[in-house]
Amino acid sequence: MKYMVLLLLAIGFTSCENPITIREGLPHDNNWSERHVQINIPDSLLLKGSTYLPIYSEIYQRNQNFTFDLTATVSIRNISIEDTIYIFKADYYNTHGELIHEYLDKPVFVMPMETIEIVVDEDDKKGGTGGNFVFDWASKKNSLIPFFEAVMISTTGQQGLSFTTKGIRRK
């Protein structure tokens, strides 16, 4: 009986896995300079637009004096199977509308069916409860426009929270 209990304990301890995957060896930030592009397509052949995306660095809990910190993953998705899209601006604003960070200084490309991401770390509270991104982009006319989405997540103790937001085209 004693050996059976020890065997069960050993199996129990060895079968537990850490659900968090650490991505070693991969860059956590986009290397924007490797994505810089000189666009050689005439403006008359491009559809240009701007998209607004809300994100949350933190949300209120219990009342306005307590907040819950979140990690936000901003996805810039090219949903076209054939055409590259171009991102000219990826600006991050806080709750008060103040510019926090300009991610791009030159246009970058996103290949067909590719997704590039911006991660706002859980301990980065600069965006506040009403952070915003504004993206300016271009695609070939009659092509699909980019899709912008954010996933906010946090786990503390035994509490987990996640939700998404979707971009809204401004023009």
pLDDT one-digit tens code per residue, 67-108? 888 899 999 999 999 999 999 999 999 999 999 999 998 999
Q: Please count the structural domains in the chain.
A: 1
The tens digit of pLDDT for each residue in 20-38 reads 454 554 444 567 777 777 8
CATH classification of the domain holding 146 = 2.60.290
Residue 133 inside a domain? The answer is: yes
Q: Which of these ranges, 1-15, 50-64, 74-88, has the smallest mean pLDDT?
A: 1-15
Residue 134 inside a domain? The answer is: yes
42 has pLDDT over 90: no
Residue 21 inside a domain? The answer is: no
Residue 37 inside a domain? The answer is: no
3-class SS string, the chain: CHHHHHHHHHHHHHHCCCCCCCCCCCCCCCCHHHHECCCCCCHHHEEEEEEEEEECCEEEECEEEEEEECEEEEEEECCCCCCCEEEEEEEEECCCCCEEEECCCCCEEECCCCEEEEEECCCCCCCHHHEEEEEEEEEECCCCCCEEEEEEEEEECCEEEEEEEECEECC
The reported pTM is 0.78
Q: Which residues pair with 77 in a beta bridge?
A: 115, 147
Q: Residues 40-68: what's their mean pLDDT?
A: 85
Residue 7 inside a domain? The answer is: no
Residue 29 inside a domain? The answer is: no
**What percent of the chain lies above the pLDDT cut of 90?**
49
Q: Model confidence at 149, in pLDDT bands (50, 70, 90)?
A: very high
Supply the range of the domain harboring residue 157: 42-169
